[in-house]
Amino acid sequence: MKAEFLIDYCHQGDWQPQGGLRQSPIDIQTSLVQDNDETLATIQVNFSDKTATFFNNGQNLQLLGVGEATFNKRLFHFVQMHFHADSEHRINGKSFPLEGHFLFQSPSGEVSYRSLLSGWRIQF
């Protein structure tokens, strides 16, 4: 899968609204989060010790490399990761200085994005 990002983050106000659920960006309200241990995902990530490549596509810095992850016992191959500064997503209305997005794809073509917010300690 070739990952291409053609969204201009300098002009987010010009983006057309998209319908549907689970649209990005999101603001997670921790008071509404329900913890259900039976549905928590088991995640295992393994990256190769081979050389990875950083690529600047003009919009963000991407890391392309070799690796795989298992989400709920399903195999996904690492495609790329990229960063946003400030974060795209928020928790309780607060943004973070840095957010990393990890893109994985299963052998059957399904895509999984994972996000890592970094830079602040938030007390819940």
* pLDDT tens-place string over residues 17-76: 666 666 678 888 999 987 766 655 677 788 776 677 887 877 777 788 778 888 878 899
Beta strands 90-91 and 27-28: pairing type?
A: parallel
Residues 6+ apart with CB under 8 A from 109: 1
> Would residue 1 count as lying in a domain?
no
Residue 8 has pLDDT above 60, yes or no: no
> Would residue 12 count as lying in a domain?
no
What does pTM read for this prediction? 0.66
According to the model, what pLDDT value does residue 92 have? 93
> Would residue 27 count as lying in a domain?
no
Confidence bin at 124 (pLDDT 50/70/90):
low
Domain residue limits at 46: 38-124
- The phi and psi torsions of 9 (rounded to 5 degrees) equal -70, -10
Residue 86 has pLDDT above 60, yes or no: yes
- How far apart CA 73 and CA 71 sit, in angstroms, is 5
> Would residue 9 count as lying in a domain?
no
> Would residue 24 count as lying in a domain?
no
According to the model, what pLDDT value does residue 58 have? 78
Confidence bin at 107 (pLDDT 50/70/90):
very high
According to the model, what pLDDT value does residue 5 have? 45
According to the model, what pLDDT value does residue 74 have? 84
User: What CATH number is attached to the domain comprising 120?
Assistant: 3.10.200.10
Q: If you average pLDDT over residues 68-87, what whole number do you get?
A: 85
Higher per-residue confidence, 84 vs 51: 84
Paired tokens of 16: 């057309």
Residue 9 has pLDDT above 90, yes or no: no
Number of domains in the chain: 1
Asked if 62 and 10 count as a contact pair (C-beta separation under 8 A), the reply is: no
